[in-house]
Chains A and B, each alone.
Chain A
Amino acid sequence: MDLLGFVIAIVKALIVLVLMLSTIPILVWSERKLSAWMQDRVGPNRVGPAGLLQPLADVVKFLFKEEVMPQGAEKWLFVAAPVLTLVPALLAFAAIPIGDPIHLFGREVTLQLANVNVGILFVFAVGSLGAYGIVFGAWASNNKFSLLGGLRAAAQLVSYEVSLGLSIVGVLMLTGSLRLGDVVDAQAGTFFGFVPRWNLFAQPIGFLIFTVAAFAETNRAPFDLAEAEQELVAGYHTEYSSMKFALFFMAEYAHMITVSALLTCLFLGGWKVPGLEHIGLGPFLFGVVQTLAFAMKAGFVLFFFQWVRWTLPRFRYDQLMTLGWKVFFPLGVANVMLTGVLLLGSR
């Protein structure tokens, strides 16, 4: 790797980091506005136009709040846990491509940090490490509500990781590659001339399982049992205050962004817009439109996440386990079998 390549890699890393960190406050704002709208309230409207500066005020508040550490807490782990939660959530985005390679400074630049040939697995592996932060933080707090929240997070992770993995096997069988760029490329074009060739239509069962498992993976309602404020005070982050709590909070949103981008890549055709190549845009504009399309799709998925959160009540714990192991696991296996049979039949 020469110097220019090195600089490009650093700049890309910075752009991804800044994009992630600046999307989080927007998400927080939209979540509050959306929930207010769905509950017939106004929502934040004091700070800035339409309350847009509210997240900024929140940041200031977080920074100035008092840090409290409970007596008998494991000091080292208590401090490390929020970091252990946020870092994997940010890191997982590294393998997600957001557009076709573009030409800059006379060389090809991929719109992706790390073009790993097992990209999907990388996202899963790093994402699953995020649960450790929650579990360790819960344990280090020396609080029974925290511990219960942490245990739920661990059990939930183990249960839903399996379904999540199974749900994408069908997609991988259609694509024949674990590289996310290849998965997106395979979704270009249309079925029957008018339906986009997205895996959403080719793999509806896989899509359903992936979406539900994604809610469980990100600890979002209706699967936010690790938090469950009506039962466990605030679950795993009961004892956390100030910026340490904010890190947990940011990790949840960072995880959401990663999962939405992954879902867009796997099932919604990534940056592919059917029919775009016939319009005759210049190569630069073409790339811009594609990346915008990706952002809009991922944005819709994020909206969907929030929509569901404020619509559905929380599952009970045994329901969560039953759903994971007795419904989605067999369904995932059946989907793999079905895809295999159809693939063999179409040969």
Chain B
Amino acid sequence: MTSVWPLLLYYLLPLVGLWTYRRGGRTGTLAAGISWFLAAVALGVVIGDARSFAVISFYLLSLVAVMTAFLVVTGTNPVYGALSLIGTFTGIAGVFVVLQCEFFGIVQVILYAGAILVLYLFVVMMVDLPKENAQKRGGVRGIAAIATGLGLLALVVKALAPLGMRLQPAAGASAEPYSVRAVGTALFGPYLVPFEVASLLLLVALVGAIVLSGRERES
């Protein structure tokens, strides 16, 4: 039970956002988020999870990922939101690299940060969304969000409790089980059918999108 703090923190975030928005706007939110997370990291270090370089970089990269994810949720400007999301993806990619899954890390950047997000951005800029109204936050919805978050946290804790709640990377991860060759062999070997089904699903979505946009053009 010693290391559930990141999850706890995660579900307390809406609360922090709500509170600081009334006081200092974006800067205040940012400062609060950073100090909360630093406190959490310090707590983690004290508890004794940080033993090596890898673990320290894991926490630093998580800091980047969580902070930017926080900004995505609390920001009012969609373009800044997209920029923050790049930070999140890059941070997660870094975590993958720390866990010696370089391939996944790089693919994360290429696919999410490089391609999918550019598409989002394209849409966001074309549509020229107005700034989201900050006043809408909080109230009954905020309380409901916190309650849901705590409920989910309870579920996660219950599910994770038998595993011992360790935050260290698994001991066996240091060999090279996640090489490109291994991924390829897995995809085209034991997981061939799920892989093909997923591709089919994407194809159906693609055809669907084209059919829908075509219909609009005719009318």
Contacts and interface: CB of A to CB of B under 8 A. Distances in A.
Are A and B part of the same complex? yes
A116 B179 CA distance: 12
A168 to B, nearest CB: 13
B114 A135 contact: no
Given A125-B109, A178-B180, A154 B114 contact: no
A59 interface: no
Interface in A148-182: 150-151, 154-155, 157-158, 161, 165, 178
B87 to A, nearest CB: 11
B145 interface: no
A132 interface: yes
Nearest to B118: A154
B49 interface: no
Contacts of B110: 121, 124-125, 128, 161, 165
Given A118-B180, A161-B114, A151 B125 contact: yes
Contacts of B86: 129, 132
B79 A155 contact: no
Contacts of A147: 125
Nearest to B128: A147
Interface stretch (B5-13, B100-108, B135-143, B209-217): B100-108
Contact of A128 (B114, B121, B125, B179): B114
Nearest to B180: A178
Contact of A77 (B83, B107, B113, B115): B83
A136 B115 contact: no
B188 interface: no
B197 interface: no
Nearest to B90: A129
Contacts of A178: 103, 180
Interface in B2-31: none
A77 to B, nearest CB: 7
A116 B79 CA distance: 32
Contacts, number: 70
B184 to A, nearest CB: 11
Contact of B122 (A77, A128, A154, A161): A154
A188 to B, nearest CB: 22
A117 B122 contact: no
Interface in B63-118: 79-80, 83, 86, 102-103, 106-107, 109-110, 113-115, 118
A117 B121 CA distance: 31
B134 interface: no
Contacts of B79: 74, 77, 136, 139
Nearest to A156: B118
B125 A139 contact: yes
B187 interface: no
A124 B108 CA distance: 12
Given A124-B110, A158-B119, A118 B102 contact: yes
Interface string A13-26: 00000000000000
B126 interface: yes
Contacts of B102: 116-118
Given A116-B102, A139-B125, A128 B115 contact: yes
A240 interface: no
Interface of B: 79-80, 83, 86, 102-103, 106-107, 109-110, 113-115, 118-119, 121-122, 125-126, 179-180
28 contacts: A77-B80, A116-B102, A116-B106, A117-B102, A117-B179, A118-B106, A118-B180, A121-B103, A121-B107, A121-B110, A125-B113, A126-B109, A132-B86, A135-B118, A136-B79, A139-B125, A150-B125, A151-B126, A154-B118, A154-B119, A157-B114, A158-B115, A158-B119, A158-B122, A161-B114, A165-B110, A178-B103, A178-B180
Interface of A: 74, 77, 116-118, 121-122, 124-126, 128-129, 131-132, 135-136, 139, 147, 150-151, 154-155, 157-158, 161, 165, 178
